Amino acid sequence: MTSALPSVLDLAPVVPVVVIEDAADAVPLARALVAGGLPAIEVTLRTPAALDAIRAIAAEVPDAVVGAGTVISAAGVADAVAAGSRFLVSPGWTESLLDAMVSSGVPFLPGVSTTSEVVALLERGVREMKFFPAEAAGGVPYLKSLSGPLPQARFCPTGGVSLGSAPAYLALPNVGCVGGTWMLPADALAARDWARVESLAREAAELRAR
């Protein structure tokens, strides 16, 4: 990562991974997450509302550190930064995508799922990465096995991580935080039950490595 912003890996133990269908929900949702202690918010670029949601959060929730997830192209990088994203997250990476993220001037977490991808990023001077899809790609045992030969790499595992499994990830020396959606249950979002989201966010924010 490059930028004056403190590492996204160190802002909170959990980064909520948010899919926003209606941009009108962005601000109250972000306020609930921040109030619960989760300031870093990854808004995925999977819906037409995503960029408007990022703009709204950036403009109206000053305590949030809003970023864009599912960034898979140079155009996506440019659009996300223009909308106000303060960090970028990709599910994987290519040389051209990595070049665009480096040139963006904001912190980024390129996605990896193999040792070779990790080594290739280390060669490029990138030490902080998203491990995705975490559970399907080997989970805690896989990341634990990387900590010996590649201690300089740090990860945010995302993909299938739950409240129950998060502590085991956070206990690893090479994990700074995890990404998850469990504090954003579909029924709570549908009901716009922001108090419940805040309560679940607070529970997630209290997770610490043991």
8-state DSSP, 6: P
Distances (CA, A) of 179 to 17, 59, 83, 123, 124: 6, 23, 22, 25, 24
What are 42's strand-pairing partners? 17, 67
Choose the catalytic residue: 42, 95, 135, 144. Answer: 42
Give me the helix-helix angle, 95-104 and 74-83, nearest 10°: 20
Neighbour count for residue 122 (Cβ, 10 Å): 14
Choose the catalytic residue: 95, 123, 130, 198. Answer: 130
- Using only the alpha carbons of the chain, give its radius of gyration: 16
Report strand pairing: 108-109 vs 88-89. parallel
Q: Is 42 a catalytic residue?
A: yes
Three-state SS for 62-104 is CCCEEEEECCCCHHHHHHHHHHCCCCEECCCCCHHHHHHHHHH
Q: How far apart are CA 200 and CA 198, in angstroms?
A: 6
Q: Which amino acid is at 168?
A: A
Question: What token pair was written down for 136?
Answer: 């399907």
Annotated catalytic residues are: 42, 130
